[in-house]
Amino acid sequence: MSFTRKDLLGIEELSAGEIQSLLVAAVSFKEIIERNVKKVPTLRGKTIINLFLEPSTRTRISFELAGKYLSADVINISAGGSSVSKGESLLDTAKTLEAMKADYLVVRTPFAGAPLYLAKMVKSAVINAGDGAHEHPTQALLDLFTIQEKFQQIRSLKVAIIGDISHSRVARSNIWGLLKLGAEVTLIAPPTLLPIDIEKMGVKVRFKIDDELKKADLVYVLRLQRERQRGGLLPGLREYARLYGINSSRISKKAMVMHPGPLNQGIEIDDELAYGPRSLVTDQVTNGLAVRMAVLYLLVGKK
Ligand code: CP
């Protein structure tokens, strides 16, 4: 098992072995973040620039903390606080940051494919922190780590992913990752929120909640991405909550639930389940830190 890439752009291009290498490395970093003194010198002298052109709480802060725990210098840039707001292109921004000797560019953008383009144009390691509806690889890695931690193994696990699949980079990255590690994946969503031919990825599809959901060991609830949706995809939020909202009576008594956050509580998931004993939501957030430390380490720190 090894991981020798310059960039982390998506889960689709990773082998199962590369995913496992990242998850194994994250175990050591989880041990570090549970210490009283969390700082290690691994990335001393390295610079990480978080270029976030869309809002984020979890991903941006955990990349910042991950970099700081590894002793890197970390700079955060948002669209509003940079020359992007004056019309500078993403490439010019990335070239400027590269000229300042950034070792890493962590990029969140509404444009699918932009991190791949930048990775070809700059020497810095590019990490995709979410590109449009395409991929969110570190979210999938932290989810896989959380699943492995809880269930010990992912092979043959029955996972139901429910909600707004069409607009979800989290769903796409998780589907690739879960299938590569041998899980059985069922997608549940209204037809208007499912991409055409998604079955070709190797998943089952259901248009409404039925017995398939009760068979799931793990129910992964997606955020309804109202900011990305064109009008007319749903009759209304109340209707969506009634037909697809997850509560404990809809899932098996043994099933666990996950959600990438941020949550629309009371719409896709009810409050009691989201923060109750069957929820892995806070584990996901903590594990995000360990996984992002592992990604930073394996891309540049190891060298
Ligand atoms: N899950 C996720 O990407 O959350 P943020 O948008 O808060 O980073």
Residue nearest to atom 4 of ligand 1 (CA): 58
Q: Ligand 1 mean position to 115 CA, how many Å?
A: 17
Q: Looking at ligand 1, which atom is closest to the CA of residue 130?
A: 3
- Asked whether residue 301 carries a pLDDT value surpassing 80, the answer given is no
Residue listed under structure tokens 């309804």: 224
User: Which pLDDT score, from 0 to 100, does residue 216 have?
Assistant: 97
Answer yes or no: is the C-beta of 206 below 6 A from any ligand 1 atom. Answer: no
Q: Looking at ligand 1, which atom is closest to the CA of residue 61?
A: 8
271-300 average pLDDT score: 96
Q: Looking at ligand 1, which atom is closest to the CA of residue 55?
A: 6
- Asked whether residue 242 carries a pLDDT value surpassing 80, the answer given is yes
CB contact burial 246-282 (16+ within 10 A = b; e otherwise): beeebbbeebbbbbbbebbeebbbbeebbeeeebbbe
State yes or no: cis peptide before 137, omega within 30 of 0.
no
Q: Ligand 1 mean position to 211 CA, how many Å?
A: 30
User: Which pLDDT score, from 0 to 100, does residue 178 have?
Assistant: 98
What are 257's strand-pairing partners?
219, 279
Answer yes or no: is the C-beta of 128 below 6 A from any ligand 1 atom. Answer: no
Q: Looking at ligand 1, which atom is closest to the CA of residue 59?
A: 8
Distance CA 195, CA 201 (A): 11
263 near 285, Cβ under 8 Å?
Answer: no
Residue nearest to atom 5 of ligand 1 (CA): 56
Q: Which helix (H) or strand (E) holds 161?
A: strand 158-162
Q: Provide the H-helix boundaries in 14-103.
A: 16-33, 58-69, 90-99
User: Which pLDDT score, from 0 to 100, does residue 86 have?
Assistant: 87
What's the CATH code, domain 137-280?
A: 3.40.50.1370
Token duo for residue 138: 């570190």
82-110 average pLDDT score: 93
Q: Do domains 16-134+285-301 and 137-280 have the same CATH topology?
A: yes
* Domain extents in the chain: 16-134+285-301, 137-280
- Asked whether residue 226 carries a pLDDT value surpassing 80, the answer given is no
First to last CA, the chain: 16
Q: Ligand 1 mean position to 59 CA, how many Å?
A: 5
Answer yes or no: is the C-beta of 261 below 6 A from any ligand 1 atom. Answer: yes
Token duo for residue 244: 């697809």
Total-model pTM: 0.95
- Per cent of the chain over pLDDT 90 is 85
**How long a stretch of residues is the chain?**
303
Distance CA 192, CA 182 (A): 28
Q: Ligand 1 mean position to 138 CA, how many Å?
A: 10
DSSP 229: P
Q: Ligand 1 mean position to 261 CA, how many Å?
A: 6
Report how far apart, in Å, the C-alpha atoms of 31 and of each of 38, 40, 70, 283, 290 are: 9, 12, 13, 14, 8
Q: Ligand 1 mean position to 214 CA, how many Å?
A: 28
SS3 (DSSP) at 150: helix
**How far from chain centre, in Å, is Cα 134?**
11
Answer yes or no: is the C-beta of 56 below 6 A from any ligand 1 atom. Answer: yes
Q: Looking at ligand 1, which atom is closest to the CA of residue 129?
A: 3
Backbone angles phi, psi at 184, to 5 degrees: -100, 120
246 near 175, Cβ under 8 Å?
Answer: no
Token duo for residue 217: 């060991």
16-134+285-301: CATH homologous superfamily? Answer: Aspartate/ornithine carbamoyltransferase (3.40.50.1370)
72-78 average pLDDT score: 96
User: Which pLDDT score, from 0 to 100, does residue 123 have?
Assistant: 97
Region label for 132, one of left (φ > 0), alpha (ψ between -120 and 50) or beta (otherwise): left
Q: Looking at ligand 1, which atom is closest to the CA of residue 57?
A: 7
